Amino acid sequence: MTPRWSRTLGYLYTHSKSVKPRDLYVFPCRRISRIAAVDVPAASDASAKSEVNLNKMFRTKSCSLALPPESPMRIEEPTYEGLRHFLLKMMLFYSKQSKSIRQANVIYRRVVSQVDKPVIYDVFRLEKTFRTNFSMLVVHMWLCLRRLKAEGKEGVELGQYVYEIYNHDLETRVSKAGVNLLLSKWMRELEKVFYGNIVAFDTAMLPEAKQDDLQNAIWKNVFAEDGSSQLDASALPAVLAFTRYIRRECTCLSLTDKEAMFSGNFMFTPLDNQKF
């Protein structure tokens, strides 16, 4: 997260009648700006128990995220025969571009399905606001684009369609937040934030990266409202849990076959059963 990120969100608040300050600049329980940098205090019984539960999260064996053939969550390509098939073919329904757009729509629906669930914010102790929702959206977009890129040129091209759908959806979300003036300018600002985060996450996943690089990138781009590099002690358990979640999703997506990824027939790890 950069100073530009803070300015962008500040604009969203200033120009919105419906969004309150706490909807944009909220860290769970208390504001980061009011927390002094201190040594990690001795944990109370309740906080210690919560941390233990966080430490147990996402340590199960990694596995493919592909949906099984019998899953009701699967979305299959429609099949038509006879005259309807002929007419749709004439209308380019079966063209590579049309198919890619349909696939990208399904993939993005999987992203939104995970990002818009209240449980993901509860699990990682984040209040659902425009800022945290956008940050989660960027993280899960990165996970998908990273996996698609592993399939080479074909995956990169499909990823571009997913990104275009994301941009359209983001514009709708920003408009709903109350921004109508200079919308294109602030979409460009959010685009810079998006690419900055992508670079930070990619760099943190390189073989030569330090062990805590991803943790620091997650803190600055998801949890810290002002881009501070000083990780707050009270947020550490949640940041570590989210870091494990990200690493696990990366591994699980790498185990998910190409067909499942390209068709969108995969599902991020469900968080509904996580308790504290």
| 18-77 pLDDT, tens digit each | 333 233 222 222 221 222 222 323 333 433 444 445 555 555 677 999 999 999 999 998
Per-residue pLDDT, 88: 81
- Assign 273 a pLDDT band (cuts: 50, 70, 90): low
- Domain map of the chain by residue range? 3-33+50-263
**What is the spatial distance between Cα 146 and Cα 162, in angstroms, rounded to a whole number?**
12
pLDDT tens digits along 167-219: 999 999 988 877 766 778 888 899 999 999 999 999 999 999 998 999 999 99
Give the three-state DSSP class for 152. Answer: coil
Mean of the per-residue pLDDT values for the chain? 79
Beta carbons of 140 and 114 less than 8 angstroms apart: yes
Per-residue pLDDT, 56: 55
Beta carbons of 99 and 264 less than 8 angstroms apart: no
